[in-house]
Structure 1
Amino acid sequence: MEKESKFQPSKGFETLGGLKTQRLVSIDALRGFDMLMICGADAFFRSLEGKTGLAWVDSIALQFEHPEWIGFTFYDFIFPLFLFVAGVSIPFSLGKLKEANAPKSQIYRKAFWRMMILIGLGILDKNAPFPFFDWEQIRLGSVLGRIGIAGFVTVVLFLNFNATKRLLIAAGILVLYYGAVFLVSVPGFGAGDLSFEGNLVGWFDRTFLPGRLLQGQFDELGILTTFPAICLTIFGAHAGEILRKINSSENQKLKELLITGLIFIGIALVWNLHFPIFKRMWTSSFIMLTSGLAFLSMGLFFLIIDILKFQKWAFFFVVVGMNSLTIYMIYRFVNFRYTSRLLFEGLYKPLGENWMPVMESLGALLLVWLFLYFLYRKKIFFKV
């Protein structure tokens, strides 16, 4: 647990909700928006399906479901966006350490232990209740573990290579992943099979990854998909470098973010013609698409919040973004929906049983935010 972290200021001090901060507000707001989609908002939107009789509402609700295999929805963008935003913060945090002349060994050690803690928390998250007496049922792949690994690799690359070389390394990873999927033969299926049963990723994890796979034969958080996922954090660090440029105007930074995003999306759409965009395999085209969307999202938040200074609306998301790890873990182990039902069911019960899941989800979302707001006001921020 720690008090306010010091990040590179955008322009002077900003005051949000009575708390003075030197942080680039748009980064925390985007992180909070993303985390809220995982911890409450997703359940609320899904619960709206079939409730209103409006086709557009049902369409939005369906965007908060992952496709079974090939396909893409808005919900598929949420985790990649978090990996990207994790990268955005790296140039700011490392910039401070480098200015303080911190030795590389110290930075490596800090990044390594952060990775190990996140891997441990991720294993706990994905296996609760933990199978202490059945180790074969432990799932090693996790969201937090992937964030930790991607962050550590990006830190190492950031300290040793310039922006151009890091982008080339990320491009190389995506091309090699693409080549491996289509050139390495899977026993019984051959090379280039993108089916659930015959793809290289699933076969590799079944062969080399101990423990339980999420879908029996396949785990999207397994070994091979980690490599393309790391590229999202590398690209995020590039966005962070753009935002941290001292000699660039805010409009120049915005232009660079938007142009980069559009180029990435264009590459993704072309790549999609042979290597389909879908999250389960974290395909190279999927990485380029979600990275492109993340650049555009970062640019949009930067424009509205840090350039045009429309910041009051962002406070709702900043409260979440400042304690993202906290809410991710708390939401896993605290049943906010149950508490919502106990506190608010008497208010919404007259709406009828059909609407109870909607209001229950909305109440849970309110409780999540109020809990984080309490921590925010007390200046309590849990970091790894």
Structure 2
Amino acid sequence: MINKTRYLALDVFRGATVCLMIVVNTPGEWGVQYGPLQHASWHGFTLTDLVFPSFLFAVGNAMAFVMDRFAEQGDAAFWRKVLKRTFLIFLIGFLLNWFPFYDFESGSFYSLSTTRIPGVLQRIAICYALTVTLVHYASRQIVVIVSVVLLLGYWAILYFCGGDDPYSLMGFVGNPIDHALIGANHLYTGEGVPFDPEGMLSTLPAIVNVVLGYFTGSLLRSLGNNYESIAKLMIAGVALVVIGLWWDLFFPINKKIWTSSFVLLTSGIDMMALAALVYVIEVKKMKGGTYFFEVFGRNPLIIYAFSGVLITLFHLIKIKNVSIAAIAYQSMTSFLPPAHASFLFATGFMLINWCMGYLMDKNKIYIKV
């Protein structure tokens, strides 16, 4: 029998992910953040590297609670909702890349010919669409087989089709694919060359993060909030982490090319974190302080998009040729070391976004795409 209880732990998990994502995305100054708040330079793993896969994992969690409705409504309604949601999430992500659209210094619009096409929301949209379709039409056994094929197949493609060092920036086979199909002008350039960490090929293993999130949500629905479900999630999480760390010996853990070992490690950590939240919140009923994260979890997409627009405006709007963001950060560096000031800036900015989410929640405004 399926448990239809609404899980506060899932809302808190999703909200904590959005909260941390805003903090790591908006430092006062790049490169001076605390070590855990920076991505690994290439191979390796930090707390920041866990944020995006946790967002995908949370998408899968939520999916487990709507699949019954999709099954009842028929294929036409299913495709209408899935295509609409995929398009809107992708579009919002693309518009965030293009924003603020107009260059006030040159007096012209930013060219679409050089606007980045991939991105965080774009990957979420694609992974959502492919996973929900797979889960809707295939049996659980087929979903498992496809997931294993994606992880092993991705490893094989990189190993056999890459350069002399297939897991390096220059040897990664996904990069020439993105250059050919998307174009170098539409890719991220933060690595010094056109290379997109949300490129096409590396999106394939990311689908498995959503699948594992879906299986986790399904397990909680079927077993309920009890010690059995907590134990099974903990055991599965530990197993995934161990396998991921073992695989790292041959296929390095790497967020930027989203290696299969990275998928298993992050999904395992997410399972254990969610199991701990279920124990504390659902079983022990210790709910003090959870509302802070609930605010983020109730409007995750809109708050994330709002944070992207707001931080851009903070850097765009200037007073005496100095941006609002720079003024705020520099005022903090007057009494704090750069790393502390950067973290204080990011935390303060996150709290501004929380206030927006709080006002939406108090006015019962919930925007779902």
Interval of TM-score (by shorter of Structure 1 and Structure 2): 0.7 to 0.9
Amino acid at match of 1:64: L
TM-score of the superposed pair, with normalisation by structure 2: 0.85
CA shift at 1:40, angstroms?
Answer: 3.1
Q: Which amino acid aligns with 2:80?
A: R
- Contact kept? 2:56, 2:213, Cα under 8 Å: yes
| Alpha-carbon distance in 2 for matches of 1:39, 1:179 | 34
Q: Is the 8 A contact 2:98 2:110 kept in 1?
A: no
Matched, 1:213 2:198: no
Q: Is the 1:305–1:311 contact (alpha carbons within 8 Å) kept by the matching residues of 2? A: yes
- For the residues of structure 1 that align with 2:100 and 2:29, how far apart are their CA atoms? 26
AA in 1 matched with 2:350: L
Contact in 2 for aligned 1:163/1:238 (Cα 8 Å): no
Rounded to whole Å, the distance in 1 between the matches of 2:29 and 2:66 is 36
Instruction: Label 1:95 to 1:45 Cα distance change in 2 as closer, same or farther (>3 A).
Output: farther
Which residue number in structure 1 is paired with residue 79 of structure 2?
Answer: 108
Deviation at 1:294, TM superposition (A): 1.1
Contact 1:47–1:358 at 8 Å: present in 2 too?
Answer: no
* Counterparts in 2 of 1:318 and 1:293: CA distance versus 1, 3 Å: same
Cα distance in 2 between the residues matched to 1:350 and 1:364: 16
| Corresponding residue number in structure 1 for 2:140 | 163
SS at match of 1:146: helix
Match of 1:295 in 2: 271
For 1:32, which of 12, 15, 18 is the aligned residue? Answer: 15
The answer to whether the 8 A contact 1:46-1:64 is kept is no
Structure 1, gaps ≥5 residues long: 1-6, 11-22, 50-57
1:357 CA displacement: 4.8
Residue 93 of structure 2 is aligned to residue 122 of structure 1: yes
Contact 1:337 1:364 in 2 (8 A): no
After superposition, residues 1-384 of structure 1 pair within 5 angstroms as 9-10=4-5, 23-40=6-23, 43=26, 61-98=34-71, 101-130=72-101, 134-184=111-161, 186=162, 189-190=163-164, 193-210=166-183, 211-215=185-189, 216-245=193-222, 250-335=226-311, 352=335, 354=337, 357-384=342-369
- Checking the alignment, whether the CA contact within 8 Å between 1:127 and 1:139 is kept in structure 2 is yes
What is the CA deviation profile of residues 229-253 of structure 1, one whole-angstrom value per residue up to 9, with x for unaligned ones?
Answer: 111001111001101105x662111
The alpha carbon displacement at 1:362 in A equals 3.6
Q: State the alpha-carbon separation in 1 of the partners of residues 87 and 19 from structure 2.
A: 25
Work out the CA distance in 2 between the residues paired with 1:166 and 1:28. 25
Residue 282 of structure 1 and its aligned partner are, at CA, apart by 0.3
Deviations 1:188-245 (A, max 9, x none): x45x522211221112212222342212331111110110111100111100110110
Of stretches 39-48 and 125-134 in structure 1, the one that deviates more from structure 2 is: 39-48
Aligned length: 346
Any conservation in 2 of the 1:28–1:321 contact (CA below 8 Å)? yes
Q: 1:139 to 1:350 in 2, by over 3 A?
A: closer
- 1:379 corresponds to which letter in structure 2? K
The answer (yes or no) to whether the contact 2:306–2:353 under 8 Å persists in 1 is no
Is the 2:188–2:195 Cα contact (8 Å) retained in structure 1?
Answer: yes
TM-score, normalised to structure 1's length? Answer: 0.82
User: 1:274 and 1:41, CA in 2 relative to 1: closer, same or farther beyond 3 A?
Assistant: closer
Deviations 1:50-71 (A, max 9, x none): xxxxxxxx8xx21110122222
Residue 29 of structure 1 aligns with an amino acid whose one-letter code is: V
Runs of 4+ in structure 1 over 6 Å off: 44-49, 336-339, 348-351
Letter in 1 for 2:157: A
Q: Distance in 2 between matches of 1:334 and 1:33?
A: 20
Taking only the aligned residue pairs, the percentage that are identical comes to 26
**CA contact under 8 A between 1:197 and 1:217: conserved in structure 2?**
no
Shift in Å, 1:319? 0.7
Write the distance in 2 (CA, Å) between the matches of 1:208 and 1:67: 27
Q: Per-residue displacement from partner, 1:84-106 (whole Å, max 9, x unpaired)?
A: 010011110222444xx211221
Task: Single out whichever of 220-229 and 363-372 deviates more from structure 2.
Answer: 363-372
Residue 289 of structure 1: CA displacement? 0.6
Change (3 A) 1:277 1:360: closer
**1:43: how far off?**
4.6
CA distance in 2, matches of 1:272, 1:351: 43
Is the contact between residue 177 and residue 228 of structure 1 (CA under 8 Å) also seen in structure 2? yes
The aligned amino acid for 2:52 is: F
Q: Distance in 2 between matches of 1:110 and 1:270?
A: 40
Asked whether the equivalents of residues 36 and 46 of structure 2 are also in contact (C-alpha less than 8 Å), the reply is: yes
Q: CA 1:197/1:130 → structure 2, altered by over 3 Å: closer, same or farther?
A: farther
Residue 220 of structure 1 aligns to a residue whose secondary structure is coil
Distance 1:24 1:181, change over 3 A: same
Query: Residue 8 of structure 1 contacts residue 24 of structure 1 at CA under 8 Å; is this kept in 2?
Result: no
Q: Is the 8 A contact 1:173 1:228 kept in 2?
A: yes
CA distance in 2 between counterparts of 1:250 and 1:30 reads: 18
Partner Cα distance (2:38, 2:332) in 1 = 27
Paired residues of 2:116 and 2:186 also in contact (CA < 8 A): yes
Q: Which runs of 5+ in 2 are unaligned?
A: 103-108, 318-323
Classify 1:358/1:67 alpha carbon distance in 2 versus 1 (closer, same or farther; 3 Å): closer
Secondary structure of residue in 2 paired with 1:334: helix
The CA distance in 2 between the partners of 1:8 and 1:32, in whole Å, is 22
Letter in 1 for 2:16: F
Assess if the C-alpha contact under 8 Å between 1:337 and 1:361 holds in 2: no
RMSD: 2.9
